[in-house]
Structure 1
Amino acid sequence: MKARVTVMLKTGVLDPQGEAVRHALGTLGFAGVTGVRQGKVIELDLAQTDAAAAETEVKAMCEKLLANTVIESYRVEIL
């Protein structure tokens, strides 16, 4: 079973990398981009065969390691 975790900075947290990308896009002529938020995607191969148990396990991974829950939010998809 596979799982995909998307981690993003929470709303209101400054995103200097996103701002740098927005600025670079403007420099390249893409003036219509008014905001960029940058995050990360983590794909996991799991031995678990039960989708609900896999989701619970991946959420625990996020809480303990994959996301800094003080400033980041995450979304788990079981594929």
Structure 2
Amino acid sequence: MYKAEIYVNYKPSVLDPKAEVIKQTLARLGDTNVATVLVGKYFELTLAADSQAAAEEQIDRICDSMLANVNMESYRFTVQAVAQ
């Protein structure tokens, strides 16, 4: 069994309106030293695979086809073996 932790965020060239609202609100609340805010999605998947490489390949395919809009978002993930 393998556990994947996946993070999906907008690409740097895409405006993130939620992050901008959070940044502006923080400034109004007095936190004017916040330079950037990143809002994203987090997923955890546990899967049975023959190897870590096979699990990573499957997770990459899942991210490309379903979890991330690859035109606007980028993703990164880690995969580690877990006890059954």
- TM-score under structure 2 length normalisation: 0.86
How many aligned residue pairs are there? 79
Q: For residues 9-39 of structure 1, give each alpha carbon's deviation from its aligned partner in whole angstroms, at most 9, with x where no partner exists.
A: 1111001000011112112221101221211
Match of 1:19, SS? Answer: helix
Long gaps (5+) in structure 2: none
Deviation >3 Å, runs of 4+ = none
Q: Which amino acid aligns with 1:5?
A: I
Q: 1:65, CA displacement in angstroms?
A: 0.3
Backbone CA RMSD of aligned residues: 1.1
Q: Which amino acid aligns with 2:76?
A: R
Match of 2:62 in 1: 61
Percentage of identical aligned residues: 41
Q: Could you tell me how far apart the structure 1 residues matched to 2:71 and 2:47 are?
A: 26
Q: Could you tell me how far apart the structure 1 residues matched to 2:76 and 2:8 are?
A: 7
Q: Verify: 1:31 aligned to 2:20, yes or no.
A: no
- TM-score under structure 1 length normalisation: 0.91
Q: Could you tell me how far apart the structure 2 residues matched to 1:21 and 1:47 are?
A: 38
Q: Could you tell me how far apart the structure 2 residues matched to 1:23 and 1:35 are?
A: 10
Long gaps (5+) in structure 1: none
